[in-house]
Structure 1
Amino acid sequence: MANPDNYQETLDAAIDKAKEEIQDLSKINIIIAGKSGAGKSTLINAAFGEELTKTGGGAPVTDKISLIENKDFPIRIYDTVGFELKQINQWKTKHSILQILRRTNKTETPDDDIHCLWYCVSATGTSLEDEELNFMKLFLDRNIPVILVLTQAYSLKSANEQKQYAQQKLPQLHSVSILANDSENTTAFGVDQLIELTATLLPDGLQNSFASAQKASLRNKRQAATKLINSAIVANFGTGFVPIPVADAPIMMSIQSTMLVKITTVYGINFQKNKVETALAGALGVFTAISAGKSVATSLIKLIPGGWVIGGTISGTVGAIITGALGYAYIELMEMVAQGKINLSEVAPEELTNLLISLIKQKMPQNLTDLDNINKN
């Protein structure tokens, strides 16, 4: 029989750790620039959710730049007031940006660095001006990635022409066309591509922060979560042999709980709106169900090919398989929560445990070779 004290201690620690993980995520700093009417605010809402702009406000940094941030989001947005054609406004905006770049370069804290520029241009508006290209070059010359965001891309032909022209002038430039909101005749598109492109340009140490902050791409979140599962699988290969029942096997549960906490963080599930502890309790309940000898859970062991359960023990290999399958099942649960298909405030942990067990069965490899392919599911 599983030791309830071990389970409760692990669950309590996991809940505390999840809250700490969210608070400790490294900050990402993105500058969003462009002319007035280019759709910067709409883009911010589509990429990071309305909570950021509603609660983050936009405190003035200079007379041309405001800072949008929220303590619960690992991202800061420097939002320019508008890169207008009047020469004095261009100079003021450029001067304000240079002030920020110089200030952040003086600190040794990576949290202060500017990590990317999104320069927004209406795909149906006027052509790019030389001053706008020169502005983007300021960042490229400092090895800061720049993405030209062709907003309001009702005409992909026009957007592609803008892209080609800009990339002829600035070959290092990245670009993406988007329509942030549905129109009467066209479904919104491109914001997820912008998110995924941005993620490829950020340092590895910021990937989890960015995945947590962004709201537009579940694929980006899944990619970040997959890396966490792979790390947990490797760790479980080293656990050796764990007796069943696993009442005195806190090592495997600890590895699993760390993985689950980090996945929860990547999906950016709001603690105030969702009972995250319910999800963690349900997931850790899978391990407890196995250790308690419940038939629905121990049937999972029988699904593992090759007879790797020897003399009443689970090998590190089997533990790794179970951990991996649990991780991918938990991803499915997090995506259901993110899509509003499951309300964690309305379900019991036992219900989630049973749901996860059914999902785990779908993730189990059919043979030893499939162990290498489990993360493709």
Structure 2
Amino acid sequence: MGAETLDVLKHRKQHRLANGVVRRNVLWAATTGLVPIPVLDSAATVAVQLKMLAELSDVYGVKFNKSSGKSVIAALTSCITSGVLGRALLSTGIFTSLAKVLPVVGSTLGVLTMPGFNGAFTYALGKVFQQHYATGGTMLDFDPEKAEPAFRQKFKDGLKFNQDAKTA
């Protein structure tokens, strides 16, 4: 076996491991949407996302920085909550987290929508970082503005991924 073949096998293994990391954390993030307490649900989701970024960093041998991870999550949150897509998601995602303070209706609305939003966001975050790391990127050279189009597409894919996971 040549060095080129070993390199291909290494990349395949990283890709397979990274896919598992993303899938597992998407499921965890979706369950955080079931937390009935506002703010605690968001904190739990961010904790899962930071854990996922740390795990992806390990898979690709990239140094993980928690504060950079938080900054990336915040930047991508603002990109997904702006524009046309953001208005639609804002009404279902962030609003439902805050709406949980309303008796019965708010909690019901949150339980119905937050798992999907959290899962899709986590899926998009994981897939964008998987691609970034696979091409030699690091946490420090990640550019949220440059990644925004891919992130938006992966978010849409994540909504579909969540639907497929429910029916599987």
**Which category of TM-score, normalised to the shorter sequence, fits these structures?**
0.5 to 0.7
* Contact 1:325/1:363 (<8 A) preserved: yes
Structure 1's unaligned 5+ residue stretches are 1-178, 193-213, 241-248
Q: Which residue of 1 aligns with 2:71?
A: 281
Q: Deviations over 1:313-343 (max 9, x none)?
A: 5512311111111111112122122212655
Q: Percent identity, aligned pairs only?
A: 9
SS of the residue aligned with 1:323?
helix
In the alignment, the residues of structure 2 paired with residue 350 and residue 361 of structure 1 have an alpha-carbon distance, to the nearest angstrom, of 18
What is the aligned partner in structure 2 of residue 294 from structure 1? 82
**What residue identity is the alignment partner of 2:73?**
A
- When residues 225 and 370 of structure 1 are mapped into structure 2, their CA distance, relative to the original with a 3 A threshold, is closer
Could you say which structure has the higher strand fraction? Answer: 1
Residue 130 of structure 2 corresponds to residue 335 of structure 1: yes
> Where do residues 1-377 of structure 1 align in structure 2 (5 Å cutoff)?
179=1, 181-182=3-4, 187-188=5-6, 191=9, 216-239=13-36, 249-267=38-56, 268=58, 270-271=62-63, 277-287=67-77, 294-295=82-83, 296-300=85-89, 315-340=110-135, 342=137, 344-352=139-147, 355-365=150-160, 370=164, 372=166
Secondary structure in structure 2 of the residue aligned to 1:217: helix
Structure 2 residue aligned with 1:211: none
Change (3 A) 1:361 1:259: same
Secondary structure of the structure 2 residue equivalent to 1:238:
coil
C-alpha deviation, 1:276, in angstroms: 6.4
Are residues 303 and 345 of structure 1, via their aligned partners in 2, closer, same or farther at CA, if it must alter by over 3 Å? same
Deviation at 1:282, TM superposition (A): 2.5
Select the structure of larger CA radius of gyration.
1
TM-score, length basis structure 1: 0.33
Number of residue pairs the alignment of both structures matches: 155
Q: How far apart are residue 349 of structure 1 and its match? A: 4.1
Measure how far apart 1:219 and its partner are: 0.8
With a CA cutoff of 8 Å and minimum separation of 6, indicate the structure with the bigger relative contact order.
Answer: 2
For 1:343 and 1:300, the matched residues in 2 are separated by 29
